[in-house]
Each structure stands twice: as C-alpha cells, then as structure tokens.
Amino acid sequence: MKRFLLALAAATALTTAQAAIPDPPALRAASWALLDFQSGEILAQSNSDSRVEPASITKVLTTYIVFDEIKKGRVKLDDMAFISEKAWRQGIDSSESRMFLNVGSRVKVEDLLHGVITQSGNDASVALAEHVAGGEGAFADLMNQYAAKLGMKNSHFMNAPGMPDPEHYTTAHDVTLLGLALIRDFPDYYKWFSLPDFTYNGIKQGNRNIMLTMDRSVDGIKTGHTASAGYCLLSSAQRDGRRLIASVMGTESTKYRAEASLELLNWGFRFFESVKLLGADQPSGSVRVWKGLVDEVQVGTLEPIYLSLPRGAAEKVEAKPQVDGTLIAPLSQGQRIGTVNISVDGKLVKSEPLVVLQAVEGGSWWKRLIDTIRLWFA
C-alpha cells in the first residue's frame, strides 16, 4: 500500500504539468492489480487487498518453494518422488487439472514441476508437497512461512494445488508480489512457464495460459479456476527492457481473463515508464571527508532505485542527498551517512538511505591533526 501511495503521489505531482493519464481499464473482475517489476510499485488496482481464492495460482508458490529447496541443495531435479494414493486420488478427483500420474510409481521432480506449471496438475502438486515436506500439512506450513517472507501479508494457504478451503486465500496484490519474487529469484526456471505444452504418460497437454499465443511479449505466469474462485490469471510481459506483472481475479471466462489481463498490461506499458536512478555507477554527488586519505567521497546508493512514472516525467525527477553531520574517516563502503530524497516536480515521492560508495581509510597522523584544527574553525 505504501508503494502504491508513493506512486500515486508521483503521478499526482505531474498533473499540473502535463496531460492526465487515462483511467485504467474497467475490468469485469472481483479484483486486479498491475505491478512494475523493476520498481515494485503498483501502477493501478481495484480491490487489490480484498480476500480472493487463488485457485491454481497457488501452484506458483508451490513451485517457488521447490525451486528454493533445489537451490539450497535439499532437493534435486532428478530425485524420484513417490506417488502416493493421496496424490493420485487428487488427480482422479480433478478430471481437468491432472498430470495422469500412476499410484505407487516414482516420477522425477523435474517432470512433476513441468506437470504443475504447464498441465496444472493437482496430483503433481501434492506429490511435490509430500516429497519436500513429508506431507501436505507440513508443506502448507512452509507455504505460509514463505508467503510471509515474500511480503504476502493478506494470504494464507492450506494446500499445494489451490483447492477451495475457507482458510485458503490471497489477494490480487499479494500474487503480483509472488510473481515478482518468482521471476527475480529463479529466472532460469521461470522460462518453463512459457513452454507451450508437456507430455507425460503418453498424454500431451497444452499450457492453459492462452495469453502466450495472444502476445509474444507475454511469458507467463499461471491460470486458475474453480467454481467459487471464478477464472483467474497471474500474467507477466516484457517489452523494451521493461516488465509488468498483472493479476486479474474472479472473471467470467477463460477468454475474458486473458483479454482483461492483456488490456491491463497494454495500458501500463503505454502510459508509464520505469526510471533508473542512482546505483554504484551513478552517485548522487560527492561529500567532504575529514581526517582521511582523500578529501571527498562519492555518495548515493549501492543498488539502483527505480521509479514508475507517467511517460515524459523523467526530466522532472531529482535526487538530493542529505548528509547527517560531518564525515570523519575511516568510512566503510555502504556505511549509511544520511538520506537521499527523490522528488518529482518538486514533490517528495521516496526517501532512501544515503551511503558511502567507496571506503575511505584514515589519513596520516599529520593529516588528522591538520583536519582537527580545521574543524575547530569550520
């Protein structure tokens, strides 16, 4: 919410200087949100913090956890996971969302991941949950721990596939954060979300995300549907180096969730731009240093700061460093020394810690003595 308000403040600051941005599309959905990947800011939303059922979008969190377990070395892609009767029956009870696993068989984790991502297999989701955590209940505990770490403050999960449960819920905002984390943390695995089909057990199934064939810039992420949740879609597209993530929850049909998502993405790409500020190669300025080997040090932020702004507003952005007190060497790289205030058209929209970009060693005893005397008269 804070990021949304800051983005809104930035947009408001520009309304007197340029034409207002057209309103976002009026979507027939229970809720929706549009997020800029680089800045992490919400560009537009409707009921984005209201509870909704995630349905199979839940599987994005399921795969995220498995990817992380692989990264940590606790699970391997070529592990052979046992297919329990519970996992098999979940597939039998879900005639459309299944990988067609055989009870009692063993299946590679890599194949199960494809079965979850492309085929939306409920049976594959349970099999992965059991392989990672020993049981779906323990895996649900993991899901809630991961959700909290990812900032999904209004979500709670009870199962790996996304089956309806009164205590299984999320929000449109939260799932965009999940999409951001997936793409940021596991870019190589994220490529699997754009695969057109997957074949297992002699059965070929196509990716349910029809947006992949509607627009070449779309490369994910996941569909969802139950009778109570409606038709949902978490999507992402990349154009000219920019990436947006959209969540559209509770729509009327497979076709409309895709059309609505694409309309929302098009609006965001057309009327907003991502502006890169600061970073290790773009200091905000130099500051006087006393008692050091050098007399000045560059300051700014070690990592780039991105703002999502209405198109044409980049020239109205200004970053001003504010140093807290006098800088006395030695100083370490990354040491916080104040605040950098970022404004748009004179209106403050974001404040970030101001740090030293290079370490500064203490000077000789003579240099320290001279600077001590100078500071008496400064």
Q: How do the pLDDT tens digits run along the chain, 378 residues long?
A: 444 444 444 444 433 334 478 889 999 999 999 999 999 999 999 999 999 999 999 999 999 999 999 999 999 999 999 999 999 887 776 667 888 999 999 999 999 999 999 999 999 999 999 999 999 999 999 999 999 999 999 999 999 999 999 999 999 999 999 999 999 999 999 999 999 999 998 999 999 999 999 999 999 999 999 999 999 999 999 999 999 999 999 999 999 999 999 999 999 999 998 888 887 888 888 888 877 888 888 888 888 888 888 887 777 888 888 888 888 889 889 889 888 888 887 788 788 888 888 888 887 888 778 768 887 876
Phi, psi of 292 (to 5 degrees): -115, 175
The model's pTM:
0.86
Specify whether the CB–CB gap between 69 and 135 falls below 8 A: no
Catalytic position from the list 56, 125, 217, 274? 56
Q: Looking at the chain, which residues constitute the CATH 3.40.710.10 domain(s)?
A: 23-272
Residue 130: CB atoms within 10 A of its CB come to: 20
Residue 116 CA: distances (Å) to CA of 125, 182, 293, 318: 6, 15, 58, 45
261 catalytic per annotation:
no
Which pair of tokens denotes residue 356? 């030293």
Phi, psi of 31 (to 5 degrees): -165, 160
Which pair of tokens denotes residue 205? 């199934």
d(CA 125, CA 112): 8
Sheet strand arrangement including 242-251: 42-46, 31-36, 242-251, 230-239, 218-226
Catalytic position from the list 59, 291, 316, 350? 59
Which pair of tokens denotes residue 264? 């929302």
Tell me the angle at which helices 122-133 and 85-92 cross, rounded to the nearest 10 degrees.
160
Q: For residue 283, which of 354, 346, 350, 336 has the smallest C-alpha distance?
A: 354
**Half-sphere exposure of residue 172, counting CA atoms within 13 Å on the CB side?**
30
Could you tell me the fold of the domain covering 278-377? Answer: Peptidoglycan synthesis regulatory factor (PBP3), Domain 2 (2.60.410)
Query: Annotated binding residues for substrate, as ranges?
Result: 222
CATH superfamily assigned to domain 23-272? DD-peptidase/beta-lactamase superfamily (3.40.710.10)
Residues facing 156 on adjacent strands:
169
d(CA 35, CA 4): 9
Q: What is the pLDDT of residue 149?
A: 97
274 catalytic per annotation:
no
Residues facing 337 on adjacent strands:
none
Query: Annotated binding residues, as ranges?
Result: 222
Residue 373: CB atoms within 10 A of its CB come to: 10
Catalytic position from the list 120, 155, 261, 284? 120
Q: For residue 209, which of 179, 240, 181 has the smallest C-alpha distance?
A: 179
Q: What is the pLDDT of residue 13?
A: 43
d(CA 45, CA 344): 22
56 catalytic per annotation:
yes
Q: Looking at the chain, which residues constitute the CATH 2.60.410.10 domain(s)?
A: 278-377
